């Protein structure tokens, strides 16, 4: 049985964490299923943007504590390495990713959302890194991504106190971009995904890569990445068509993505 499903809606791929009986908790099998789902959407040239969400009342409630409670330090290190490997694969996906956080996003669930490029949330969503309350640290990138997204002070407070916050506070500190009524969340996610899919996809992917790379390096190195991406776009038909249409005051009839 797969705990992760993939559905294609036009140029949008929807990955759903689908083990609602345990609030989509992450065990080894779920992580392997997610890895396979990411490979599937990466290979599909007709998918331009990916939405990641959860079935039932949780996005992902965390890692599977019943599994973790039984493992040794060596096994825990391997489990953490697996989670980080899969989440880095998600972060490095060439296609933009949107986390549509429908419910609990705790521990590994919060870390999963942070590996996506954009996060939007339902009013019912809750976020947190409660690991210190279980005697452990975050293990799937929480200590690294949370301070990069919300700042060191906010990240320290959330991780060191194990406090869980509601969607409104998550938006206030910049963890999510928008908060919507539960019944609107997926429609808004699709609206955002389609707005991205309507742009020139080579430029979209080069922009994502430049942002992701630039966040890990000094600004001079990041600017060099941007210069390479900027120049590459001038070798595309999309750039020539779009700029010619702009100069001619004509409406461009979509992109060729080449």
* Active-site position among 7, 42, 75, 131: 131
User: Is 7 considered catalytic here?
Assistant: no
User: Is 169 considered catalytic here?
Assistant: no
Which residues does residue 214 pair with via DSSP β-bridges, in sequence order?
none
* Active-site position among 75, 111, 172, 191: 111
How far is it, in rounded angstroms, from Cα 141 to Cα 157? Answer: 16
- For helices 237-247 and 201-214, give the axis angle rounded to 10 degrees: 110
Tokens of 191: 């609206």
How far is it, in rounded angstroms, from Cα 14 to Cα 5? Answer: 8
Active site residues: 111, 131
């Amino acid at each position: 049985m797969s705990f992760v499903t993939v559905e294609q809606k036009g140029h949008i791929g929807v990955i759903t964490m689908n083990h609602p009986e345990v609030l989509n908790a992450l065990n080894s099998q779920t992580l392997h299923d997610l890895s396979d789902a990411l490979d599937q959407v990466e290979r599909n040239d007709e998918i331009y943007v990916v939405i990641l969400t959860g079935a039932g009342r949780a996005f992902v409630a965390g890692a599977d504590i019943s599994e973790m409670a039984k493992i040794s330090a060596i096994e825990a290190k391997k489990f953490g390495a697996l989670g980080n490997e899969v989440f880095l694969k998600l972060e490095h996906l060439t296609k933009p990713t949107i986390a549509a956080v429908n419910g609990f996003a705790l521990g590994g669930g919060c870390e999963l959302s942070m590996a996506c490029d954009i996060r939007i949330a339902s009013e019912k969503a809750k976020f947190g890194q409660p690991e210190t309350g279980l005697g452990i640290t975050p293990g799937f990138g929480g200590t690294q991504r949370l301070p990069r997204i919300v700042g060191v002070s906010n990240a320290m407070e959330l991780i060191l106190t194990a406090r869980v916050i509601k969607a409104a506070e998550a938006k206030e500190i910049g963890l999510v971009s928008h908060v919507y009524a539960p019944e609107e969340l997926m429609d808004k996610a699709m609206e955002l995904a389609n707005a991205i899919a309507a742009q020139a996809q080579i430029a979209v992917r080069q922009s994502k890569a430049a942002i992701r790379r630039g966040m890990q390096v000094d600004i001079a190195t990041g600017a060099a990445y941007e210069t390479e991406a900027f120049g590459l776009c001038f070798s595309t038909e999309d750039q020539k068509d779009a700029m010619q249409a702009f100069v001619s005051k004509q409406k461009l009839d979509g992109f060729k993505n080449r």
